[in-house]
Amino acid sequence: MRKIKIMTAVAALSAVVVAGGVEARELRLATIAPDNHNWTKVADRVSQELAAHPELDLQLSVFGGGQLGGEPETLQQVELGLIDMGLFTVATLAGRAPSMNGWFTPYLFKDVAHAGAARDLPAAKEMLDELQGSGVVGLGYTMAGMRHIVSRGAPVTSAAEIAGKKVRITPFDAAKTWWEAIGAVPTPVPTSSLYQSVQTGVVDLVEIDLDLMTALSIQEVAKGLTLTGHMAFPGGITISQRVYGELSPEQQRGLRAAVDKAVAEGVAAQIEAEVTNLERVSKEIDVAHMGRESAGFAEGAAAFGAKFGAIPLVATFQQQVQAAQ
């Protein structure tokens, strides 16, 4: 059961609870994803898996919807061990492990199933290992849907229509590089303010996946959806390196097994959700398609390559993804 409460930094420290006379380590996981988003559901699955194995003496409470703060400050608290675990956008984690920008290679993945399979590639696991330098242990990836473009007005049908428009992005280098090359004006907006920002015209366009779009009901205040599928958007499940080191080897293995099972189920659920989410929003909003053949999009891909292609692990990841097709 998810515990909904506000915690101070001190209260966020790992707790020891007593259940049936047995001491169990209580872990707390924070995510900005809304409660009805696939990522939060994946975190809930991890909690359920741990509950199904009481011999591990581990419990997990999930705090969704940014209850414990935005991603930058929450990641810092996980690094310090003040919050035990976090499910972060890989966009945020890329600030600690730049090679993770490889996940945002434009048009590297054809769909969620393709991106989900890449989480098991050696290069993807090496990216998680790089996080240990910042004090967190990467346990695995989960998936959101592919990224598309939502418009306050009619759906855009060419890159030329994007030039000069304010587009809401998750603030990270790969997205900023992509959109600036296309000619747009990248505009960071917190998830909690996204609905209002579209409604009031703070932004003209939104880069978003269908899962978050439907979770926030953005289709109520927007008129157009352009299906581009130009980037994948994974999340990373992490635990404080300090907290992880305090777990027994059996608890570490059990936690990793719970994450692996929950992530596999979550990817399968996200593949299905891509279909059902599109069916839903297609009844509420105008939908157009725009592929990678757009000249403006090619400029975005070139700009991404110029900035991130020289990172060795990015190039290795791209090669492994392409070889696995």
Q: Spell out the domains of the chain, with CATH numbers in brackets.
A: 15-144+234-276 (3.40.190.170), 148-231+284-297 (3.40.190.10)
pLDDT for 14? 44
pLDDT-derived band at 291, boundaries 50, 70, 90: confident
Secondary structure string (H, E, C) spanning 264-281 = HHHHHHHHHHHHHHHHHH
Q: Provide the pLDDT for residue 295.
A: 67
User: Does residue 22 register a pLDDT over 60?
Assistant: no
Cβ–Cβ < 8 Å for 230, 177: no
The model carries a pTM of 0.88
Residue appearing with tokens 């409660």: 35
Q: Which of 110, 230, 104, 106 is nearest to 171 (CA)?
A: 104
Contact present, 63 and 39 (Cβ < 8 Å):
no
Confidence class for position 36, pLDDT limits 50, 70, 90: confident
Q: How many CB atoms lie within 10 A of CB 179?
A: 22
E-state strands within the chain: 15-19, 22-31, 58-63, 85-89, 136-143, 148-151, 166-169, 185-188, 205-208, 224-227, 234-240, 286-289
- 85 pLDDT more than 80: yes
Q: How confident is the model at residue 270, as a pLDDT? A: 95
Residues near 107 by beta carbon (within 8 Å), at least 6 away in sequence: 229, 230, 231, 292, 297, 301
Provide the residue count of the chain.
Answer: 325
Angle between helices 295-308 and 173-182 (to 10 degrees): 140
Amino acid at 80: L
Note the pLDDT of residue 293. 63
DSSP, collapsed to helix, strand or coil, labels residue 207 as strand
Q: Residue 325: what pLDDT?
A: 75
In 3D space, the residue among 322, 324, 318 whose CA is nearest the CA of residue 105 turns out to be 318
Bridge partners of residue 69, in order along the sequence: none
Q: Considering only residues 293 and 215, tell me which one the structure prediction assigns the higher pLDDT.
A: 215
pLDDT reading at 118 higher than 90: yes
Query: What is 105-138 written as a DSSP string?
Result: -TT--SSHHHHHHGGGSHHHHHHHHHGGGGTEEE
Distance from C-alpha of 319 to C-alpha of 101, rounded to nearest angstrom: 14
d(CA 51, CA 253): 15
Q: Give the residue-averaged pLDDT of 19-29.
A: 74
Using the predicted structure, report yes or no on whether residue 12 has a pLDDT greater than 50: no
Q: How does residue 297 score in pLDDT terms, banded at 50, 70 and 90? A: confident
- Helix and strand numbers (H, E) in the chain are 12, 12
- Tens digits of residue pLDDT in 132-173: 999 999 999 999 999 999 999 999 998 889 999 999 998 889
C-alpha 243, offset from chain centre: 22
User: Residue 83: which of 65, 100, 69, 97 has the closest Cα?
Assistant: 69
Cα–Cα distance measured from residue 15 to residue 59, given in angstroms and rounded to the nearest whole number: 10
Question: Average pLDDT of the chain?
Answer: 90
Q: Which residue has the tokens 């790969």?
A: 174
Joined together, the tokens standing for residue 67 give 């209850």
- Per the DSSP assignment, residues forming a β-bridge with 46 are none
